[in-house]
Structure formats: C-alpha cells, structure tokens
C-alpha cells in the first residue's frame, strides 16, 4: 500500500496471482488515485481484495476486473463488503453502455458477472455466492445506474442442479443453455416473465424441458387450462411474448430428424408468435405460407 500511496498519477493497476498478500495490521487512511482508470485484481486472497478496494478512491476508474476464489460456505460479502459504497458511482459509469447484466455459469466451477466494463469472476460452483454478488451489483447500480435486464448463460454440465432465485429470475430477458445432461433444470421455475429470447445448445433429448417451460409460461399447448384461467382472473400478469428461440443441435440420423420436426411443432403450438431459428436459419411452417 505504500507504493500506491506514493503513486498519485498511476493510471493502471494490476495485481495478479499473489495469494499470500494480506491486509496490513494497521492502515486507517484512504489512498486517492485520481488518475487511475483501470483495475485488475486476480488470484488474491479475498480479504486482500476487499481491503484494497475499500482503501483506494478512484473517481475516474472506468474498468474493474476482479477474479477471486471463495471456499465453500464462505459468503461473497467477505469480498463485496458495504465498505465499497464509494465505488458505486464508478460502476454506474462502467454500466452506461451495457445492454444487460451478463451472467455466465460454467460447469467447471466458474461464474462470471459482467456489466459494461465491470467484470467479477468467481471461482466457485455455489449459486448462493453468485446471488450475493448479483445483489451487491444491483445495489451498486442503484437509482443512479441504468435499469438492465439479465442475460444468463447456463452450462448444465456441472454437478448438481441450478436454482433460480425468484428475485433474480424476474430480471432475465435472455437465456442461453448449454450441456447434454437432462433433468437438472426444473421447468416449474421457468415462468420467466421478462424473457425475450432463448439460445439453446442442448441435445434433442432435453428439448422436452423447453416445451414444459413454454407451457408454464402460456398455459397448456392447445389452450389455457383452468388453472391458467384462474391465474388470469386474479390479475397475475402473463409473461411477455418470446421474440426468438435459437437452436444449434444438428440431428445425426433420420429418426432424430423426425423427432426434431415433431418437437418443433410442439414448440410452435406452445409459442405461436415466436420466431424459431435452427442453426441460424429462420424456420418456416406450413401455416406460415
């Protein structure tokens, strides 16, 4: 910290792979780095990251990348503490050009939260830590930042199922799904009322789950069932129509191609106004002609 305190004209700060770096026992003053415009902190102890970010004042910072691992059961608040409120204005500026908050969750145990030029890479598989980071980012954006939807890229090849918190799922506008495995995503969670587009990279054996999700959004495939009508009568808003669904699976046999066409028609009946793309091409159906 002595180096930083004597470098008021520093414009770029990167600390990489220093796991033994620890906060000093005594350091009560803040460090003003008015010229600093980019920060990269990765491979550090979470306490060291929290200390650095809580100590420095960087009013002109326009890019912040944090990559950190948290042990199982450790709260993300150990890293993203309330003491970082002075960064909120800078993070709001970083988010000005963003179209949405991007969340990428990989089966390899890495979760990435991105908005504009702010990137938080969490080396952990625990969804609770991701939700804590998301809540912190939502607080940082606050009333002074842009109101953004969420683009979620979910790799289903990791261990265990993935639970979408209701507070989070209500913000999702785009969904991208990877992975060949089946049964880890619960369609009953999937009444994603703000969802506008889905990008599917699953095997065809998983496609039935998407039909279940569409039915959960719109009622039964052929008509709204009694439960859906009762929901409407209570004034519960229906989800917004899906604009597009993109699929990238290519069948490798005639049987699977037939299964694909049959399944396509199920999707078409569940979401009749949605544009359906297969390998980048818009699909036409008999009733479209």
Per-residue b or e along 164-190, where b marks 16 or more CB atoms closer than 10 Å to that residue's CB: beeebbebbbbbbbbbebeebbebebb
More confident residue, 222 or 268: 268
Q: SS3 for 272?
A: coil
- Interval 186-214: pLDDT, tens: 555 566 778 888 887 766 666 676 777 77
pLDDT for 156: 60
Q: State the chain's mean pLDDT as an integer.
A: 78
Winning range, highest mean pLDDT, from 110-114, 180-184, 222-226, 269-273: 110-114
Q: Hey, what's the torsion of the CAs at 44, 50, 51, 54, to 10 degrees?
A: 140
pLDDT at 225 over 50: no
pLDDT for 159: 42
Q: Across residues 255-281, what is the average pLDDT?
A: 78
Q: What percent of the chain has pLDDT over 90?
A: 22
pLDDT for 8: 85
| pTM, two decimal places | 0.79
- Interval 33-76: pLDDT, tens: 999 999 999 999 888 898 899 999 999 999 999 998 887 777 78
- Interval 99-152: pLDDT, tens: 999 999 876 778 899 999 999 999 887 888 888 889 889 888 886 666 788 998
Q: Put the strands of the sheet holding 118-123 in their side by side order.
A: 12-18, 38-44, 63-69, 118-123, 111-115, 100-105, 149-155, 172-179, 197-202, 244-247, 275-278, 281-282
> CA–CA separation, 52 vs 203, rounded Å?
45
pLDDT band of 180, cuts 50, 70, 90? low
> CA–CA separation, 27 vs 20, rounded Å?
18
């Amino acid at each position: 910290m002595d180096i930083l305190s004597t470098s008021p004209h520093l414009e770029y700060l990167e600390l990489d792979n220093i796991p033994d770096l620890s906060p000093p026992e005594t350091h009560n003053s803040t460090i003003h780095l008015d010229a600093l415009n980019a920060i990269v902190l990765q491979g550090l102890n979470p306490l060291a990251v929290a200390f650095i970010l809580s100590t420095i004042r960087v009013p002109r910072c326009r890019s912040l990348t944090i990559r950190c691992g948290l042990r199982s059961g450790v709260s993300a608040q150990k890293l993203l503490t309330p003491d970082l409120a002075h960064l909120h204005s800078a993070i709001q500026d970083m988010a000005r050009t963003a179209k949405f908050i991007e969340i990428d969750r990989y089966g390899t145990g890495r979760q990435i939260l991105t908005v504009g030029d702010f990137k938080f890479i969490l080396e952990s598989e625990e969804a609770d830590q991701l939700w804590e980071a998301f809540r912190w980012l939502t607080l940082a954006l606050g009333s002074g930042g842009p109101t953004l939807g969420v683009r979620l890229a979910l790799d289903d090849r990791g261990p265990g199922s993935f639970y979408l918190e209701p507070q989070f799922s209500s913000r999702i506008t785009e969904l991208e799904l990877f992975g060949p495995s089946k049964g880890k995503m619960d369609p009953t969670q999937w009444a994603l009322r703000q969802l506008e587009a889905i990008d599917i990279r699953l095997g065809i054996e998983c496609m039935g789950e998407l039909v279940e999700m569409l039915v959960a959004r719109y009622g039964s495939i052929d008509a709204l069932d009694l439960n859906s009508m009762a929901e409407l009568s209570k004034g519960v808003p229906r989800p917004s129509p899906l604009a597009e669904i993109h699929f990238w699976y290519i069948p490798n046999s005639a049987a699977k191609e037939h299964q694909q066409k049959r399944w396509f028609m199920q999707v078409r009946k569940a979401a009749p106004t949605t544009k359906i793309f297969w390998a980048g091409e818009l699909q036409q159906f008999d009733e479209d002609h």
